[in-house]
Amino acid sequence: MWSLLLGLSLGFAEEPKVDVELSDTVSGRNVRSIDLPDGETQLVAYEDEKTGQYPKRIYDGARWLQMSVDFVWSCWEVMNHLYLRDYKGLHGVLADVKQKYPDSGVAPVGRALMWQVLMLENFDFKYEIQYKNSFEIAVQDLQKASVQAGNDAWENFLMGAILGVDAIHELRKEDFLDAINQGYEAMKFIEIAKKKAQFFVDSQLGDGLWLYWRSLIASNVPGVPLFTDERAKGIEMMQLAERESVFLRPAASHALVYTWIEERKMQTALMTAQHLQDAYPNNVINLQVLGRVQMYQKQYKASEKSFQRVLLLSPKNERSHYYLARLYMRMKQYAKAESHIDTYLTFTLSPYQEGYAHYFKGHIHYRQKQYRKAKKAYDKAWEVNKVKGAKERSELAAKKIASKK
C-alpha cells in the first residue's frame, strides 16, 4: 500500500523547473527517454471475472498469502473505497473490518491511508494529527498481530506499507533523514513479505518504483551514487503489478502515468489516465494528473473539464486553482488565469508553493506586457522561495520598463 501513496505523491513532489510553455515532468529535468513506443499501452482490467463469490484475484491472493478469502476481500474493499473516493462508505467498511478482524491492523492502516490521500489531494498537512494517531495505532496493532501465528506475509507487507507511507510523509515535510531511515525499515518488512509469499505480485510495484526512480534521480542529481540504469526493468515490474496484483492494479496504473510523463510518452500517459478516470470517475488525484496531461497535449477544453470536475467533487480543493491558472495562461485567457492564481494565493501555502504561484503570476502579467506587475511578482517569487529563473525574469521585465521611458 505504501506503493499507492508513493505513486500518488509523485505528481505533487516537485513544481516544474521549466518555463510554462514547456511540458514539465515530475522531476523537472531533461532526461534521455527510454526507447519505448508511445500510445501502445495495454489497458488492463481492474476487476477479474468471478470464479465464485469473489473475483479470481481474491482467491489468488488468499492462496498466495495463506489467508481466508473473506479476509482478503475485506482488505480489497478498503482499497477500493480509497480508489473510488467514497470516504463515507469507507468509514462503514473500516468499522466492519474492525469488528470482524479486530487484531489484524487493517482498520487503522486503512484510516491512515485515508488521511494521507486527503492531504495529497491538496499537497498539504491539514490532517497531520489524525494521520499520526492512525499511524501509531496501526503500528501497535501490527506489532501485536505479529506475535500470533498466521498471516505472517500479509502482516509484514502491511507493516512495510505503513512505514513506507510515513517515510513519504516525512519526505514531503523535507525531514530527509527520518524519511530515509523509515524507508529502509519499510523495505526490511517488504523483503520478509516477499520471501513468505513469493507469488504475491503486489510487492512488485514497490520494487519497480524503486528501480525506476533511483535510476532517474541518480542520473540527474549531483552527489547521488550512480546506479545501472534500470528504468526499463522498473517499468516492467510496475506493468506486472498493474496486470496481476491483488490490491494495487489502479495504483500501478497511476504510478505509470507519472512514469510516462517523465519518459515523454504523453499519449500513453493520456490513455492510462483516461482509463483510470473511466474506472474511478471521482478520484480527485487522478483527475488532476489527467487534466495536466490533457493540458500538455493541448486538449484545453478537456483539461478545463477535468479540473472543473475536481472542484465539483471537492469545492475546497486548492491545487486545481493553480492548474487552472496555468491552463488559462496557455489558452491566453489571462483574466481567468489571474483570478485563479489569486484565489490560490489566498490559501495557506508552503513557501515552495507560494513562490511558484508568484512566478507564474509574473508570467501572466508579462504576457500582457504589464511589466511592472510582472517584475513585482517575479521579485516576490524570489523573496518567498528563491525560485529559479525569477531573478532573470525580473531583470527582463525591468529592461522592458526602462525601454518605455
Sign of the dihedral defined by the CA atoms of residues 46, 49, 52, 57, in that order: negative
Q: Which three cell numbers stand for residue 301?
A: 477544453
> What is the model's pLDDT at position 21?
36
Q: What is the mean pLDDT of the chain?
A: 87
pLDDT at 223 over 60: no
> What is the model's pLDDT at position 225?
55
pTM (predicted TM-score): 0.87
Percent of the chain, pLDDT > 90?
Answer: 66
The secondary structure of 15-80 as a DSSP string is ---S-TTS---SS----PPP---TT-PPPPPSSPPBSSSSBHHHHHHHHHHT--HHHHHHHHHHHH
**379: closest CA among 369, 368, 365?**
365
Q: Which three cell numbers stand for residue 309?
A: 470536475
Question: What confidence tens digit (pLDDT) does each residue in 33-59 have?
Answer: 677 777 777 889 998 888 889 999 999
> What is the model's pLDDT at position 219?
64
> What is the model's pLDDT at position 2?
42
Contacts of 286 (CB under 8 A, 6+ apart): 254, 257, 273, 276, 277, 280
Q: Which three cell numbers stand for residue 142?
A: 501490527
352 or 324, which is more confident: 324
User: Model confidence at 11, in pLDDT bands (50, 70, 90)?
Assistant: very low
Question: What confidence tens digit (pLDDT) does each residue in 279-320 have?
Answer: 999 999 999 999 999 999 999 999 999 999 999 999 999 999
Sign of the dihedral defined by the CA atoms of residues 200, 205, 208, 213, in that order: negative
pLDDT at 149 over 90: no
User: Model confidence at 158, in pLDDT bands (50, 70, 90)?
Assistant: very high
Domain boundaries, the chain: 1-21+46-197, 277-316, 318-405
Instruction: State how far the Cα of 389 lies from the Cα of 317, in Å rounded to an integer.
Output: 28
The CATH code of the domain at 318-405 is 1.25.40.10
User: In one letter, which amino acid is 212?
Assistant: Y
Instruction: State how far the Cα of 129 lies from the Cα of 3, in Å rounded to an integer.
Output: 22
Sign of the dihedral defined by the CA atoms of residues 240, 243, 249, 254, in that order: positive
Sign of the dihedral defined by the CA atoms of residues 151, 2, 96, 244, in that order: negative
Instruction: State how far the Cα of 196 lies from the Cα of 208, in Å rounded to an integer.
Output: 19
Instruction: State how far the Cα of 151 lies from the Cα of 197, in Å rounded to an integer.
Output: 10
User: Model confidence at 171, in pLDDT bands (50, 70, 90)?
Assistant: confident
Please list the alpha-helical segments (H only) found in 39-198: 56-65, 69-84, 87-100, 106-120, 128-147, 152-172, 176-196
Q: Which three cell numbers stand for residue 283?
A: 478520484
pLDDT at 389 over 50: yes
User: In one letter, which amino acid is 140?
Assistant: Q
Instruction: State how far the Cα of 328 lies from the Cα of 324, in Å rounded to an integer.
Output: 6
Sign of the dihedral defined by the CA atoms of residues 57, 60, 64, 70, in that order: positive
Instruction: State how far the Cα of 241 lies from the Cα of 248, in Å rounded to an integer.
Output: 7
Q: Which three cell numbers stand for residue 37?
A: 513506443
